[in-house]
Structure 1
Amino acid sequence: MNHQSTRRKLGDIFCFDPELTVMKLQISVLDSSAAGGWLASLCVAGFTAIAIRKIVKTEMVDAEPMAKPSSFAPIEFWTWGGIFLASFVSAIFYPTALGTTARTCLPFLLASTVLGYMVGSGLPSAVKKVLHPIICCALSADLAAVAFGYISQSGVDAVLGDYLTKVSSNPGAGDVLMGFLGSVILSFAFSMFKQRKLVKRHAAEIFISIILSSLFSLYSTALVGRLVGLEPSLTVSILPRCITVALALSIVSLFEGANSSLTAAAVVVTGLIGANFVQATLDKLRFRDPIARGIATASSAHGLGTAALSAKEPEALPFCAIAYGLTGIFGSLFCSVPVIRQSLLAIVG
């Protein structure tokens, strides 16, 4: 297995959001709005990119070829499986061997998350449409937490609390995974650099489509929330649904009364919908080139959509990465402008 394939596979794993494992999603509120909002944002970004290309009359050329990641080797399954079994048994018999339960649970929770992705990535394509590898990460970690909580009689909530502690001096498995996000984003930069000539050639459609998509996402969410009669605090909480969790939480902190837990749920649900259905939807809409496909995916489904599409279409990764970053940047900038923020609040009511 070459280093590039290994790095890209690890990148897919670490695009998994630990918030998904520990939070309880408010599905009844989010499902329909997330699905409709994701599809609308995808259409706006994709069709805008194509329209701007026609206006500026930029000829589409082929992207630099990108190698697809190889499948996981049996030795990788056996290695992580052995780590999981050994650390799980050790944590049962020595619950505070490393000083705290979070550190004791860290090895088997981390191993279960990685194993979940390995199993999910090997599922047939038809099954992945329902059970995406990102979902498998959360399910496997949750199952490990339930099993340990039952056997140790500590309860699943306590184990999930050890999964994502958000304390640097006592990190859990989720905190370790979050620590790799910087490396993942840096790996995106290498992919973008390889396609630098194509990025420069299509700069107009890339930037304009992302700006319009970001504005559309914010204002359409506010308007739909008002029309369907959602509580203003609820609507405000889901405004940054198409922006990665870390930046979305910073954005909603600008709005008084927003619920950050609901924000995280909205972002993750939107990303999961995009990760599962993005490729089929892009094909139905006849988005053929990697630029339109990459921009539409990341502008509507942030990191989870990026991981899902780039695993199957690595040539779209640079444009997913650009849209992923710029959507967060422009979304943060727009909500920081008092006039735009007040107009959103006025629409929300």
Structure 2
Amino acid sequence: MFVETLNGLKASGRPLMVHLWRKYVLVPIGTLLMMLLLYGINEIIKKTTVNFPASVCLMLLMYGGLSLNSWLFGEHRTDIFLKYVDIPCGFALRWMNLYFTPPFVTLVLSDKVSVAEAFTIMAVYIVGYIFTFGFMAYFTWGLQLLLGTYKLHAKQDEKDEESQIPESSEQDEVNDNASKQSSNTIKEETTWEDKVRDFVLEWIDFFIYGLLFIAGIPVYFVTGYEMPVQLATAVLLFKACLFIPAKLRRVLHPILISFALCLLVYYILSLIKGQNYFTCIRHYRTGRTYLTLFDSEAYPEWPGAGDFLLSLMDISIVSLSLSMYKYRGDLKRHFASVLPPIILCAFMSFFIYPPVCYRLGISPARSLGFTGRSVTTALGIPLVTALGGSTQLMAVTTIISGILGVLVGDFLVFKVFRVRKHDFVSRGVSFGLNCGAVSTYYLTVVDPPAGAMSALCFTFFGTLMVILSAIDPLVRIAQKLVGW
């Protein structure tokens, strides 16, 4: 009996050891190696006159390299490389939403906005958001009709409609009985060792980050360094928000709930220590990421929790290349339907959004910040910085666009604008040009082909916008449009 129990514990302990080895050894090593590669690429880019994100550069290089390698040596050898790349990239994609919380946390540090300007910003944002969704969806749909690629979706719809035959009540009863029989089977096969294993695997991360939180408290109160306790708080609260039921989670999005709870915890800790709350939040994001880690003169303060999470966000941006590679056939086949909307959206964002905002009474800096409203944060920061706009407004509107895409994007696309459900091209383009990386991650889960299209769109769209912002005459034109 004792030997059987010992063997059972050993068997249940193996998955735990694999989990710890992969998540806390292999993933950090892979992430560190990828950050070193990104750092090298960033140093090369700094030698040029173009301010381009290293993360997006590596994403494009990886997508091109994977496609070329597959063409030259076959998919089998490429899959071997993907097996190792997926260790840090898969982890980064799964936790991508967590990395978008820092701009919300630092929102309390932004300049005050008058009530009139706040309502104007809200109105411009809502109208522009809905208009972009509908216009880009219909524009892409029309291009597919013109190029003859839309008929593929129509055939797929017909097949699905034919296959959706309601089952008889007898068949329902058979299925219910089979389900019940299987569920009794499951109870019999579930041993106490399995229950212990499942419990430990579910709560081990809470235990580890709980230890980090406990260790971070004396570090914070003795030395004043907030990063350990703030990082542990951000991870623990975000993981706790994932326990919200899936239906409620679409409304109570983990990004919004966790950042609000983080602010509350940080406020309580600052009160206990007697530290100014705004100073505590400034230390949350000092700007010293892995790219500026060795530049102590420009960034004298140590990295904060926000800098750590934003550094990991670069890995998640690179990881989108894996989804693009997987659906490279669809990207190639529909590229002609995707490129014109990207070019048109870039023109509208660069030369129409800012003057419209300015004429309606929004300040010049915030008007220029609207150019990055639908550009992902990694690309929007260098874009709006080059224009002299408000990066804070850009970051918040970008992430809100992504969250709204998760909440109401499908309703707008399928119900309001009547896009066919299997037209993943129009769906992906409208999400990619309107919602950025947050909704792209959502699409990669619920509709991978549309997610690949969305990744392609927001990448090329953001790249084009950054290129436009690197051309001084165009920057001066955009600034003159807002009275500068």
TM-score calculated relative to the size of structure 1: 0.82
**1:204–1:312 CA distance, 2 compared to 1 (3 A):** same
- The answer to whether residue 335 in structure 2 is matched with residue 203 in structure 1 is yes
Count of matched residue positions in the alignment of Structure 1 and Structure 2? 334
Deviations 1:101-122 (A, max 9, x none): 33xx333322332333333334
Measure the CA separation in 2 of the matches of 1:299 and 1:117: 27
Cα offset for 1:194? 0.9
Distance in 2 between the 1:142 and 1:15 partners? 16
The answer as to 2:102 corresponding to 1:18 is yes
Match of 2:459 among 303, 325, 346: 325
SS in 2 for 1:239: helix
Q: Are residues 6 and 183 of structure 1, via their aligned partners in 2, closer, same or farther at CA, if it must alter by over 3 Å?
A: closer
Candidates 304, 326, 342, aligned match of 1:172: 304
Select 2:233's aligned residue among 97, 101, 112. Answer: 112
Q: Is the 8 A contact 1:84 1:107 kept in 2?
A: no
Kept after mapping to 1: 8 A contact 2:365/2:390: yes
- Which residue of 1 is the match for residue 393 of structure 2? 262
Q: Distance in 1 between matches of 2:430 and 2:208?
A: 39
1:281 equivalent to 2:402? Answer no
Map Cα deviations across residues 215-270 of structure 1 (whole Å, 9 max, x no partner): 223344224314423333331232221112232232233335x3333333333343
Q: Post-superposition shift, 1:331?
A: 1.4
Structure 1 residue 294 corresponds to structure 2 residue 415: no
Match of 1:150 among 271, 280, 290: 271
Contact conserved, 1:42 with 1:296, CA < 8 A, in 2? yes
Give CA-to-partner distance per residue, 1:52-92, whole Å, 9 cap, x none: 11111124367xxxxxxxxxx75465233323433333333
What aligned pairs does 1:178-257 form with structure 2 within 5 A after superposition?
A: 178-256=310-388
Letter in 2 for 1:109: Q
252 and 273 in structure 1: CA distance in 2 versus 1, 3 angstrom threshold? same
CA contact (8 A) 1:222 1:239 kept: yes
The superposition leaves residues 125-174 of structure 1 with CA deviations (integer Å, 9 ceiling, x where unpaired) of: 44334321221332243233123222323243233223212222622222
Does the C-alpha gap of structure 1 residues 43 and 218 become closer, same or farther in structure 2, counting only changes over 3 Å? farther
Change (3 A) 1:278 1:118: farther
Query: d(CA) in 2 for partners of 1:94 and 1:112?
Result: 14
Which residue in the other structure is 1:88 paired with? 213
SS in 1 for 2:152: coil
| Secondary structure of 2:332 counterpart | helix
- State the SS of the aligned residue for 1:238: helix
SS of the residue aligned with 1:13? helix
State the AA in 2 paired with 1:149.
Answer: S
**AA at the equivalent of 1:54:** L
1:277-314 CA distance string (max 9 Å, x none): 22222222233222221221121111222233334333
CA drift of 1:192 comes to: 0.8
What displacement does 1:11 show? 4.3
The runs of 5 or more residues in structure 1 that have no matched partner are 63-72
TM-score (norm 2): 0.61
What amino acid is the match of 1:280?
F
After superposition, the Cα gap between the structure-2 partners of 1:22 and 1:254, relative to the gap in structure 1 and judged at 3 Å, is closer
Q: Does 229-238 or 183-192 show the bigger shift?
A: 229-238
Distance 1:236 1:186, change over 3 A: closer
User: Residue 53 of structure 1: which of 127, 144, 150 is its match?
Assistant: 144
Match of 2:131 among 40, 45, 49: 40
1:329 Cα deviation (Å)? 0.7
Aligned partners of 2:387 and 2:469 also within 8 Å:
no
Q: Does 1:123 align with 2:207?
A: no
In 2, Cα distance between the equivalents of 1:307 and 1:114?
19
Whichever residue aligns with residue 268 of structure 2, its letter is A
Q: Kindly report the root-mean-square deviation, in angstroms, between the aligned alpha carbons of the 2 structures.
A: 3.1
Is 1:316 aligned to 2:439, yes or no?
Answer: no
Which residue in 2 is equivalent to 1:159? 280
- Choose the corresponding residue for 1:7, options 70, 76, 91: 91
Going from structure 1 to structure 2, the CA distance change for 1:101 and 1:206 (only over 3 Å counts) comes to: farther
Report the equivalent of 2:26: none
1:30 maps to 121
Higher relative contact order (CA 8 A, sep 6+): 1
Q: Provide the rounded CA distance (Å) in 2 between the counterparts of 1:146 and 1:294.
A: 40
Structure 2 unaligned segments of length 5 or more: list them.
1-18, 23-85, 157-197, 295-301
Structure 2: which amino acid aligns with 1:43? G
Q: Identity of counterpart residues, as a percentage?
A: 21
Given that 1:236 and 1:252 are in contact with CA atoms closer than 8 Å, whether structure 2 keeps it comes out as yes
| Of 141-150 and 4-13, the range deviating more from structure 2 | 4-13
Letter in 2 for 1:324: F
Which protein is bigger by CA-based radius of gyration? 2
Q: Residue 371 of structure 2: SS of its match in structure 1?
A: coil
Measured in 2, the distance between the counterparts of 1:74 and 1:295 equals: 41
Which residue does the alignment assign to 1:70? none
Q: Which of these residues, 420, 432, 439, is aligned with residue 305 of structure 1?
A: 439
| SS across alignment from 1:180 | helix
For the Cα contact (< 8 Å) 1:149–1:158, is it kept in 2? no
Supply the distance in 2 between the matched residues of 1:156 and 1:75 (Cα, whole angstroms).
36
Q: Does the C-alpha gap of structure 1 residues 154 and 81 become closer, same or farther in structure 2, counting only changes over 3 Å?
A: farther
- Distance change >3 Å, CA 165–CA 346, structure 1 → 2: closer
